[in-house]
Every structure is written in structure tokens, then in C-alpha cells.
């Protein structure tokens, strides 16, 4: 689980990129608080071959990346 709430782009994307490069997870959960971050992480994840789903939890967004 990556908690990137309170961070503006590109930091949440960089955090996801580091995790993907280091561990190549089959599933990864990311929590952010900005729709811009959701869009940017989704774009990056698709380029890496992940499917992305997200839900809204209050003011936060929870993304789940699946290979």
C-alpha cells in the first residue's frame, strides 16, 4: 500500500514507479487525495501493463493496480 495523500504530482507517480520497478507487484494499492493523481497514476500504470480500478473514500481515492 502506497499512501501518497498530501503529495502533488509527480511525487505519487514517482512512488508508484519505484515500487513497480523494485518489486513488480501483481497487485498494488495506492491512496491519493487528488483526481489529477488518479489520472496520472492510471496513465503510468496502463503503460506498464496494469489494469486500474479506483474508488472514492471520503475525500480520498483508492486505486488498485492489477497485472
Average pLDDT over residues 12-30: 98
Domain count for the chain? 1
**Which pLDDT tens digit goes with each residue over 35-67?**
999 999 999 999 999 999 999 989 999 999 999
pLDDT of res. 27: 98
Q: How far is residue 37's CA from residue 54's CA, in Å, rounded to a whole number?
A: 12
- How does the average pLDDT of the chain come out, rounded? 97
> What's the pLDDT score for residue 45?
98
CATH number, domain at 9? Answer: 3.30.110.40
What's residue 64's pLDDT? 98
- 55 neighbors 62 (Cβ within 8 angstroms): yes
Q: What mean pLDDT is predicted for residues 16-30?
A: 98
Which structural domain, as residue segments, surrounds residue 50?
Answer: 2-66
Amino acid at each position: 500500500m502506497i499512501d501518497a495523500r498530501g503529495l502533488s504530482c509527480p511525487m505519487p507517480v514517482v512512488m508508484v514507479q519505484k515500487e513497480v520497478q523494485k518489486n513488480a507487484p501483481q497487485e498494488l494499492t495506492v491512496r491519493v487525495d487528488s483526481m489529477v493523481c488518479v489520472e496520472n497514476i492510471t496513465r503510468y500504470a496502463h503503460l506498464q501493463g496494469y489494469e486500474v480500478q479506483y474508488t472514492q473514500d471520503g475525500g480520498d481515492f483508492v486505486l488498485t493496480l492489477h497485472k
